[in-house]
Amino acid sequence: MNFVHASDFHLGYAQYGLAERFKDFARAFDRVVDYTIRSDARFLLIAGDLFHKRNINAPTYLQSFKILQKLKDSRIPVYAIEGNHDLAYRRDVNSWLQILDAQGLLRLIKIKPLEDCGVKLMGDFVDVDGVRIFGIRYLGSQTRNTIPDIAEEIKAINDRCGNPDYTVLMMHFGMEGVIGASDIGELSYNSLLPLRDVVDYLALGHYHVKYEYDGWVFNGGSCEMISIAEHKKPKGFYHVVDGKASFQRASPRPVERFGIDTSDISSLQDLYSTVGSVVSGVPGTDAEPLVEILLHGDLKFPRADVSIEKIRGIVSEHLKPLWVNVKIVDTKEPVGVVDNPDISRSEIERSVIEEMVRGTQHRGHLKDVVETIIEAKQLAITGTDPEIILERLQGSFDAVRGEKIEQRGQTDLPFGRAGADRAGGANVD
């Protein structure tokens, strides 16, 4: 047994509007593919979010095609599931992962029924050298309630097809307590316990930092920095040999973040001198870093007088950065008052929404409706397309009405699995 598990490559993300960042995400994917080939891995798992957008452009498709072609040429199969960034718009029906599947560049594991044994979700699986690979696409707020069904269906399939030597399940969700703020569809470890008897390796994606639990739950994170808040947090992928998983650190573009307290700085000139002193102490690197300067505390001069461009120039002189961001935080401005400091904002928000729903005709489905409202709000905050939010609301409404998760409709694609032409090396630029 020898395989690589990775996720969250977010191909196509031109972070901060920079063409070089667009290339960085492809380079990160390419490095994982090269590692997979050098390691003689039997297969590569991608646990969601290969792409950053549901509708990718031609350069993003070309990046994925060239890099995946290297694995195809090496006869190393790729098994993938759709993350929240990969799912197709309803109007499009087919996702871009389905296109890559049709071209034979990867094998997309989908929701599929097996009616003769009562399976409605997990019927699409792969057996490779004694390893049985299951997968299920991103389900959002429905994930928690689906876990017991997944466990029962895997057991039913194993009873019918025989028990494998090793079972892998790919899913796309986050675990509670890993990041500071709660996210859509987060699960506690206890909620995963129904899977423990039928899954040897739970291959996760979604959160962009590395974590693992109890020797069977693994999330490597992204291999590039999706948000600057991930600075200094471990991220990479897993290499699994004979059931033993070893974490392989990624090498993302370097990031430098500086916090400068302005409370004791009396003049603009002193501020600029302080910025220069802080950044001059950082050793240079071959790679142009991403730099963020955070000015916090009480300003002794008008905020409007601070020249952001001058600060950027000082940083550029010392560090030769790819990108510089300067933030000024006035700590005198109130950020909210809570009587009980132990209660988080998200807990207060959930409590308020629960009280509102209890007074409606939907109180019989309190938990589902509350999760849907919070999910819609988080999607709106992150600038998600309104059509996606509407789809989520409609899907949750259907679930509340008792409709079960069904296989998403698909259309026949206009080419066969082996129809792709070869495309040289993986020049991701």
Query: Which pLDDT value is given to residue 406?
Result: 43
Question: Which pLDDT score, from 0 to 100, does residue 181 have?
Answer: 66
Question: 75-111 pLDDT, tens per residue?
Answer: 999 999 999 999 988 777 789 999 999 999 999 999 9
What pLDDT, on the 0 to 100 scale, is given for residue 412? Answer: 42
Instruction: Please report the pLDDT score of residue 415 as a whole number.
Output: 42
Pair 366, 357: CB distance under 8 Å: yes
Block means of pLDDT (10 residues each) for the chain, 429 residues, are 97 96 98 98 97 94 97 98 90 88 97 91 96 96 94 96 97 90 82 97 96 97 92 94 97 93 92 94 84 91 91 93 89 41 58 71 73 76 69 68 46 42 49
At position 351, the amino acid (one-letter code) is S
CA distance 31 to 235: 14
**Of residues 166, 163, 161, 136, the one with CA closest to residue 149:** 136
pLDDT value of position 365: 75
pLDDT in tens, 229-269: 888 899 999 999 999 999 999 999 999 999 999 989 999 99
pLDDT of residue 424: 41
Per-residue model confidence (pLDDT) at position 428: 61
Side chain identity, residue 190: N
Q: Are the CB atoms for 250 and 28 separated by under 8 Å?
A: yes
pLDDT at 416: 41
pLDDT at residue number 158: 95
